[in-house]
Amino acid sequence: MKNDRKYPEFASHEYVRPNLNWDCGHTCEGCPCRIGPSPKGECRATFECSPKLVTKPGETKGHYSCTRPKSGGGKCENGPMPDGSCCNAIPKCRPRRTLRSMRKLAVVFTCIATVLLLCIGVSRSMRDDFVNPGPISSIHSSEHFVNIHKKMSGDASTCAACHDGAKDGAASWHTKALGAFKEGLAPADLIKRGPIESSAMDKSCLACHQGMEFHQPNMPANFACQECHKEHGTSGFMPPADSAYCISCHGDTDLMATSRDLGAKISPHSFPKFTGGSDGIVAARVRPEGGYTEVINAFHTDHPEFRQIKDSLAGKIQDTNTLKFNHAVHMGKGAMPREFNCADCHEQDGRGEYQQPITYEKHCTECHTLQFDETTPGLTLPHGDPYHVRAFLRSLNIQYEEFGRDIEGITGREELIAYIKGKRESIEGQYETGEDLEHMVFFSDKGTKFADGQRAAFTGCAVCHEVKPAESINATPKIEKVAVPVRWMTLGKFDHSLHEKGLTCLDCHDVMNSELTSDLNLPSIKSCIDCHSPQGGIDHSCTSCHTYHNSNPFTPLGETPAEPTKADK
């Protein structure tokens, strides 16, 4: 029997098939577009039709006709544009996944998760690989670290050294996982801008790395250790902190402004400070006004000039060393007995990083012999304590006797007496009294003259030192103690040995034009940027010069800060 039922006609190009993964966003409004989304879920709608050019007999140009189908409303009243484009643009939509597509994804995800869970549950090796986020650095996986942790906690598991959850076993993992959401691991916290704040894991770090929690007390938040120090990345050394972590704070204008305002409200004794040693090995460091809150995005772009250089140019800081020294004279050709270079006086320490202190005995005696009697070249004054110098001059008979016997080889008693008498007559011929000799030794310089107009046969202490007259009768003149800092930039690391290839001292230190002791002669930041920049090709990361951690403010570099005064309180 023939079925005479008439079925409705459907346009094949408009039929929405159930096997598609995406639906038009206008479907819920009852007016989906005919072309529909792309296989990747992108809207492809443009215009409601593609006008057709119709040319009647006898016409040469023709005209455009609307081709919108009846299901779309039929031909529009306005018709196509003169250039043949449709006048009705279809608004873009946001395609949605079909129910079939969502079911398919759910099934695939469930199957994969089931297989993984089975593998993890059945295979112990695979389970351990899945749980372990990566290899531990050689420091934290060493036998020495295990012994330290075992001694502190009685547990030999290196996981428990950092993760509290490893101490309690798998039964408490679910509670630890839920608690982690309160410690910066919530989805909203993971995607937020800025560093991760400190968590309970930092206590485990500080158990071994004591005193490393300090950066600056005016930081708005105490950031987590793992923000900069990334573990589970390599089995070798832990990767150094990336400069991006530094710039995330120091390149943030708002955060630096907050730190500046916060620092103004904190006692200055809360900040780490170092006043330098009494021996002048390290120069005193004073915290700048406003703190270290200048915005820095890169060393070669907007890093401020070194503060020592900037303060030196502004006259705020000078070398206060009392030793009178002129680099230009000592380095100038023909001005000295021989031509000197930097290495004659400046010697690197055992590691090659910094310069050792200059000493008179090692670097100055070649020219400054302290000879006071031109007839006895080998007899020189002691260097150091002015009291010893005065005692030497007041015991010249003994000094000549020992020199004649030990150096000249005079052994006979009568010959030795005659030798001493001759030396005394010679020295007394130059000076009327012993006081004149002492005065000349302590206070004569290159311009000192005798009463008759003759210049002194030697240069005294005043040539190099600042000498003050005795404060009382028969007292010793006072010579200001020399303190030559061997380090000025105490906030940055430097290694002279790494800069020896291709560079000389004069490339960075302009000492050929330095005539004053007060000149710092430190290199400017420009001389560093020439090499430490993308153009120079040398490492210019923050950590190549700086370290994140400061010493405890109560024991900076082994030195206890002064007690706050009433003005500070």
Tokens of 38: 């792309």
Pick 171 or 419 by higher pLDDT: 419
CA dihedral 171, 173, 178, 184 (to 10 degrees): 160
Domain presence at residue 536: no
Domain presence at residue 340: no
Domain that holds residue 159: 143-239
User: Are residues 367 and 454 located together in one domain of the fold?
Assistant: yes
Domain boundary among 429, 463, 479: 479
Could you tell me which residues come within 8 angstroms of residue 362 by beta carbon, excluding any fewer than 6 positions away? none
User: Are residues 418 and 441 located together in one domain of the fold?
Assistant: yes
Tokens of 63: 């005209």
Pick 16 or 164 by higher pLDDT: 164
User: Are residues 474 and 372 located together in one domain of the fold?
Assistant: yes
Question: Across the chain, what does the average pLDDT equal?
Answer: 79
Q: Contact at 8 Å (CB) between 536 and 529?
A: yes
State the pLDDT at residue 111.
92
State the pLDDT at residue 558.
36
Using the 8-state DSSP alphabet, how is residue 357 labeled? P
State the pLDDT at residue 402.
92
Q: Helix 386-393 and helix 396-406: axis angle, to 10°? A: 80
Q: For the segment 369-387, what is each residue's pLDDT rounded down to a tens digit?
A: 888 888 888 888 999 899 9
Q: How many domains does the chain have?
A: 4
Domain presence at residue 287: no
At 388 the three-state DSSP class reads: helix
CA 115, 121, 124, 127 dihedral sign is: positive
State how far the Cα of 289 lies from the Cα of 287, in Å rounded to an integer: 7
Pick 398 or 130 by higher pLDDT: 398
State the pLDDT at residue 557.
35
User: Are residues 368 and 465 located together in one domain of the fold?
Assistant: yes
User: Are residues 124 and 178 located together in one domain of the fold?
Assistant: no
Tokens of 257: 């402004």
DSSP string, 198-247: P-THHHHHHHHSTTTT-S-TT-SS-B-GGGTS--SS-SSSPPPPPHHHHH
CA 144, 148, 151, 154 dihedral sign is: negative
User: φ and ψ at 380, to 5 degrees?
Assistant: -125, 155
Tokens of 159: 């996981």
Q: Contact at 8 Å (CB) between 497 and 353?
A: yes
Domain boundary among 131, 155, 174: 131
Q: Contact at 8 Å (CB) between 201 and 163?
A: yes
Domain presence at residue 475: yes
At 455 the three-state DSSP class reads: strand
- What proportion of the chain, given as a percentage, has pLDDT over 90? 8
Report the pLDDT averaged over residues 417-426: 90
User: φ and ψ at 371, to 5 degrees?
Assistant: -80, 125
Domain presence at residue 280: no
User: Are residues 364 and 374 located together in one domain of the fold?
Assistant: yes
Report the pLDDT averaged over residues 70-84: 80
User: Are residues 235 and 159 located together in one domain of the fold?
Assistant: yes
Q: What ranges in 123-214 are assigned the alpha helix state H?
A: 124-131, 143-153, 159-162, 165-168, 173-180, 187-190, 201-208
Q: For the segment 492-503, what is each residue's pLDDT rounded down to a tens digit?
A: 788 888 888 878
Q: Which helix (H) or strand (E) holds 261?
A: helix 253-263
Amino acid letter for position 205 = C
Q: For the segment 265-299, what is each residue's pLDDT rounded down to a tens digit?
A: 888 777 776 666 555 667 767 778 888 889 999 99
Domain presence at residue 71: yes
User: Are residues 34 and 23 located together in one domain of the fold?
Assistant: yes
356 pLDDT higher than 60: yes
User: Are residues 63 and 153 located together in one domain of the fold?
Assistant: no
4 pLDDT higher than 80: no
Report the pLDDT averaged over residues 244-250: 86
User: Are residues 198 and 122 located together in one domain of the fold?
Assistant: no
User: Are residues 379 and 461 located together in one domain of the fold?
Assistant: yes
- What proportion of the chain, given as a percentage, has pLDDT over 70? 79
Q: Which helix (H) or strand (E) holds 508?
A: helix 505-508
CA 561, 563, 567, 569 dihedral sign is: positive
Identify which of 142-151, 205-214, 362-371, 413-422 has the greatest average pLDDT: 413-422
Q: Among 274-288, 350-364, 463-477, where is mean pLDDT lowest?
A: 274-288
Chain mean position to CA 324? 35
Could you tell me which residues come within 8 angstroms of residue 401 by beta carbon, excluding any fewer than 6 positions away? 416, 420
244 pLDDT higher than 70: yes
Q: Contact at 8 Å (CB) between 434 and 449?
A: no
State how far the Cα of 207 lies from the Cα of 202, in Å rounded to an integer: 9
Amino acid letter for position 133 = P
Domain presence at residue 282: no
Domain boundary among 182, 204, 239: 239
User: Are residues 372 and 474 located together in one domain of the fold?
Assistant: yes
Using CB atoms within 10 Å of the CB of residue 246, give its burial: 0 to 12 exposed, 13 to 18 middle, 19+ buried. middle
Domain presence at residue 225: yes
| Residues composing the chain | 569
